[in-house]
Structure 1
């Protein structure tokens, strides 16, 4: 998209994506493929929103840490000796070397390049051979800190130190997930995901799309979650996420060949919970697929205008993993889940190809795509507010 198409008319036109499904249009294809728009989007969305980076269970002990990256920003999360959860940049403040990789337990972070050493809280504690550098005071230097918040066991960070808290804007989603006690759920640490060749929004739209379920996934591995039983609850204007409830054809449905839960059902579920699945999105990074016996969480990490990485994790009811037959039961679930995910990934890649085409247009919605409109209603005000702020800065005083 030529840069001159990023103008007042373009952003005003996005409002049609927030209307009811009867009249709404999809976002312009340029929002998914254009480098200039992605650069704008980093400021409009990622620089000021809460970004999920992992689970608190990964950093429970003093010295525990892990690293990740979103929009190219290297992120380091650690637990200090005092028990504080800290999120910060992993970029050394000397020559920009990364001070940590992967995950583990440590007493501090030593830059491998020149051995500048930082505490678990990011404070610089040692800088060799700097005594002859004029005005150098290691007390003035630290790894830049981010805001951090834990919600239902998930760690979120925010680059904007003035950002409003996250949890108060997720009360409706938290209520919907109460029976699963996600803060106490158990699961292994996922491996970092490989890079995927489609825009992060394509991934979000697919994860919570009720329309395609009975079509793309038609067959015994998914027919118990029919598209016709999709429900899209209205969300408050200030909400930080959105939901899809999808009724199931029987209680305790799960993704395996038996169509029934093989693992222990989450003990706090109501009768309503046991007869539906919940799909919850907290953009721009966290998407949840919630069944009676297993939660799949997807941490979506944008890397470019047409690429992202995705970490795929699993959560189970407390004690489920202690069952000697756990691995066999999980294998049955994951065989079905991975078959479905493979179908999704195939079409996501083709959607990205189509979005690049000169023939890609702003399409129309079915009533079964209520989650897409909810996503648009989350995105569009952020785009429009940021564009207005940029436009005001261009106006001569």
Structure 2
């Protein structure tokens, strides 16, 4: 008979993951594979944190909308005729049919099943043949709304209506990225999301890991960003994200065979910024890989204990896409980035396989894994506080 995983001892033991790299341990393998832990994690993390869902440019005009999902919750984001940005559940309040798919421009949302019709603001405006239903009042029915915040052009939603604002808790990251003016950066809508058979944290950790870069990616496409030049600034108290800076061997380094920027450099960058790459992370959904001529953004969307979807997008300096040679230069960047990403995806799958093994243990960290410590320090208090609250709500108390 299998012993329960979620115990006081399990959550108390997580504290070692928050120590300095000299003594810290990795999170227990169960955090990446156990279905019960994933259900717990929904409450501990996803139900109360700000979740990135896309870019504001995707809903620039009244009537524009797009759909997405996180932890199995279908979401529609829209721009109303009054120019209000709204995010809602896309679940019809009649028989749970989804009222929107994909993206586009619409006057409202019509459930294809029974033609209940909702405005762009989510309010029910028509429900055919409901006049004989006792007590039915369409004015009291609407698609559930979520809190919305736009940060540097990225749209975040929060299922918790009492959540504190995001921006004050990522002010240090906004300052570090100020020279890139991401709110005004340009880029195409990402291709349809890809699904990956490993835990969302495996992907998030890989995106932020400086330790593997000079090893897994050894060669001319990555050697100009050596792991030994990784720097991990301490996040402020209560921060909602963290940074990694990585020095480069020459200015304006970029992922392509020339190792140098081919696209226009973001015009607001300082000399310091042009001699490093920046990795910015707002868990549990947004990770940014920032170079002097291109930003890769990754929107990681958990959908199971051992799977997630991810939107991968690109941002460039204003005007960059108007260059007649833009597509050719971008192709050079993406050939290199694609080769590196393929290496990452291969090992991510193998890491997930290893985490399922009875021989997987809580490992130790290198100093070049400072971003993993920062991630643990963001995650672990949320786990521990939620477990304590659940135990208290169940009337069982929590040992001191």
Which of the five TM-score ranges fits, normalised by the shorter chain? Answer: over 0.9
SS at match of 1:57: helix
Give a deviation string over 1:137-190, Cα, whole Å, max 9, x none. 000000000000000000000000000000000001001000000000000000
2:101 corresponding residue in structure 1? 101
- The residue aligned with 2:13 is 13
**Counterpart in 1 of 2:127?**
127
Q: Which residue matches 1:75?
A: 75
Aligned to 1:226: 226
Maintained 8 Å contact 1:285/1:299: yes
Whole-Å separation in 2 of the counterparts to 1:233 and 1:278: 11
> Which digits, 9 at most, give the CA deviation of each residue in 1:49-105, with x for residues without a partner?
000000000001000000000000000000000000000000000000000000000
* Match status 1:169 vs 2:165: no
C-alpha distance in 2, partners of 1:195/1:70?
12
The residue number in structure 1 matching 2:186 is 186
- The unaligned stretches of length 5 or more in structure 1 are none
Q: Distance in 2 between matches of 1:180 and 1:319?
A: 13
2:363 matches 1:363? yes
Partner Cα distance (1:195, 1:271) in 2: 38
For the Cα contact (< 8 Å) 1:152–1:181, is it kept in 2? yes
DSSP 3-state at the match of 1:288: strand
Task: Describe the SS at the equivalent of 2:272.
Answer: helix
Partner of 1:4, secondary structure, is coil
How is 1:54-65 mapped onto 2 (pairs within 5 angstroms)?
54-65=54-65
Counterparts of 1:147 and 1:394, CA distance in 2: 29
Which residue of 2 is the match for residue 87 of structure 1? 87
CA contact (8 A) 1:3 1:36 kept: no
Taking the aligned partners of 2:2 and 2:71, their CA distance within structure 1 comes to 22
Match in the other structure for 1:34: 34
2:288 matched to 1:288? yes
Give the C-alpha shift of residue 282 in structure 1: 0.3
| 8 Å contact kept, 1:66–1:104 | yes
Say whether 1:237 aligns with 2:240: no
Cα distance, 1:192 vs structure 2: 2.3
The separation in 1 between residues aligned to 2:154 and 2:144, in whole angstroms, is 21
Q: CA separation in 1, counterparts of 2:5 and 2:261?
A: 50
1:237 Cα deviation from its structure 2 partner: 2.5
- Runs (4+) off by over 2 Å: none
User: What is the TM-score when the length of structure 2 is the normalising length?
Assistant: 0.98
Structure 1: how far apart are the matches of 2:192 and 2:165? 27
State the TM-score, normalizing by the size of structure 1.
0.99
Distance across 2 between alignment mates of 1:51 and 1:275: 31
Partner Cα distance (1:237, 1:192) in 2: 36
How far off its partner does 1:396 sit?
6.0
Shift of 1:3: 6.1
Aligned mates of 2:141, 2:260 — CA distance in 1? 55
Supply the distance in 1 between the matched residues of 2:91 and 2:131 (Cα, whole angstroms): 22
Structure 1 pair 2–232 and aligned structure 2 pair: CA distance change class (3 A)? farther
Secondary structure of the residue aligned to 1:243 is: strand
